[in-house]
Amino acid sequence: MSAKEEIQKRKTFGIVSHPDAGKTTLTEKLLLFGGAIQEAGAVKSNKIKKHATSDFMEIEKQRGISVATSVMAFPYRDHLVNILDTPGHKDFAEDTFRTLTAVDSVIVVIDVAKGVETQTEKLVEVCRMRKTPIIVFINKLDREGKDAVELLDEIEEKLGLHVTPLSWPVGMGGLFKGVYNIYEKKLLLYRPHSKQSKEEVFEIKDVHDAVLVEKVGERAAEELRSELDIVTHVYPDFDRKKYLTGDLSPVFFGSAVNNFGVKELLDCFIDIAPTPLARETEERKIDPFEDNFSGFVFKIHANIDPRHRDRIAFLRVCSGKFERNKNYYHVRQDRQMKFSNPTSFMASRKDVIDEAWPGDIVGLYDSGNFNIGDTLSEGEKLHFKGIPRFSPEMFRRVINKDPMKTKQLNKGLDQLMDEGVAQMFIKELNGDKIIGTVGALQFDVIQYRLEHEYGAKCDYEPLSIHKACWIDSDDDQALQTFVSRKKKDIALDKDQRLVFLAESAWVLKMTQETFPAIRFHFTSEF
């Protein structure tokens, strides 16, 4: 198979939503269709000792939430599909933001009862900024929920998306009869309390066909006809060009937990979703069909297998062909590296691969050489854009509960900070270790993982810090004066860059006015 054909086979997308909208369940069902797994895990089930394939960390199984991005690949209809299942919880938004730099399109999952929630708004805003193509899946149709037209209005208003429904529900909740697939002109019948392993599908080119009444009853058929009549006049026809530029979002309805409407979503996705897209670097635009390999690290995960204490860097291949045991140029470290056991993923299951193409996500065993945002190439100095670290919003001082395990604590903190789940600042004055996160749940995850993966115990002391700002200046003397005058509020980040820890918004404002020669940055990308 030629390089062009290999690249055009790939479809790489992320699944994003608010927690509990059914994102991980949808991922499971997509994997079932791809034959990647034989049986879906019981997400959030304590009765059955099975869990979602994509939630492989122990804390995820216990809490029933995703706290780290999982990568899964499977073949479907002569394509290779790469899914990145992201955390929905707002406390892990930074991981999700970075993951969105590695995908070519997105499926947004919305709960039919709750509608559009705040976290979904933030994530979709990031996709819109990047003009990422979006498909919307409205989930849990077997439960009572909002009216379908009302939901579409809410999606347009709150998410700023222009939508066009490609399927339409026949009833909802207790009256849910199925879904009419507008895209394929087919009716899918829903059978409650069955495993719905094989969907009942009927081709209905015209909704005035008598078969419709026979299958769903006179009242439901009449409702569907009148709703479709309104929908087809109000919403535009599907236009793939507009979808690919992020200007039109197709909407599907279904019930992931019942495996209903998922195959239709996947079939349409394979038809319309983009193949690997070009990527922007500071130097130039990278085309996926270029001969030379390039790629960037968007995530690092320590202890993906706690038995082996391994650390994996997730690399998105952007151009050319990645080959095992070939020398590649690590741009930041200015040196050559080669990889004897690069892997592909099925959550925590890994397989060694010999080659990878644009769109693929490769796992590279890492002994501390990689940072998030690092570039590998065949010699060209490239810096991929848009992978910053954000200024944290919550801060706590780390207290070592077992001085005998200081070495394990330091190693654990270093490795977990490399993952980008949180940031550590070390005070210049007294060497205090301060962890900053975007959400409180991150502290629990770090504490849990330190104990269960590194055998180290820690406690936290809350701190009244408003903001961490990276600082620099063109005037070295002014910078030195600032550091010496603000010594108690100065710290270093993991890359030894100077950070000012402002106690309050007022202190920050006053400091900026008092020291005009100092620049204050709220992301590390400057």
Which residue ranges form the domains of the chain, and what is each CATH number?
3-171+235-272 (3.40.50.300), 280-377 (3.40.50.300), 394-521 (3.30.70.3280)
Residue 253 in tokens: 């309805």
Residue 121's pLDDT is: 83
Query: What pTM did the predictor assign?
Result: 0.75
Task: Supply the DSSP symbol for 504.
Answer: S
Distance CA 269, CA 267 (A): 5
Residue 523's pLDDT is: 74
The CA-to-CA distance between both ends of the chain, in Å, stands at: 42
**C-alpha to C-alpha distances, 497 to 141, 343, 417, 469, 490, nearest whole angstrom:** 50, 33, 15, 10, 10
**C-alpha to C-alpha distances, 443 to 54, 92, 163, nearest whole angstrom:** 22, 11, 38
Residue 311's pLDDT is: 77
Three-point CA angle 218, 219, 221, nearest 5°: 65
Distance CA 488, CA 496 (A): 17
105-111 and 134-139 strand pairing: parallel
Per-residue pLDDT for the chain (526 aa), expressed as one digit of tens each? 788 999 999 999 998 887 777 777 888 888 887 776 655 443 333 333 344 444 444 544 444 433 345 678 888 989 999 888 765 444 445 667 777 888 999 999 999 989 988 778 877 887 887 889 999 999 998 888 888 999 999 999 999 999 999 999 988 888 888 888 888 888 888 877 554 455 677 777 777 777 778 888 888 888 888 888 888 889 999 999 999 999 999 999 998 888 888 888 999 999 999 999 999 898 999 999 999 999 999 888 765 555 555 678 889 999 999 999 999 999 999 999 999 989 886 544 567 889 999 999 998 988 778 888 899 999 999 988 766 566 777 899 999 999 999 999 998 888 888 777 788 999 988 889 999 887 777 788 888 888 988 899 999 999 999 989 999 999 999 999 999 999 999 999 888 889 999 999 999 999 999 999 999 988 766 4
Distance CA 445, CA 9 (A): 37
* Burial class for 300, CB neighbours closer than 10 Å (0-12, 13-18, 19+): buried
Distance CA 18, CA 113 (A): 13
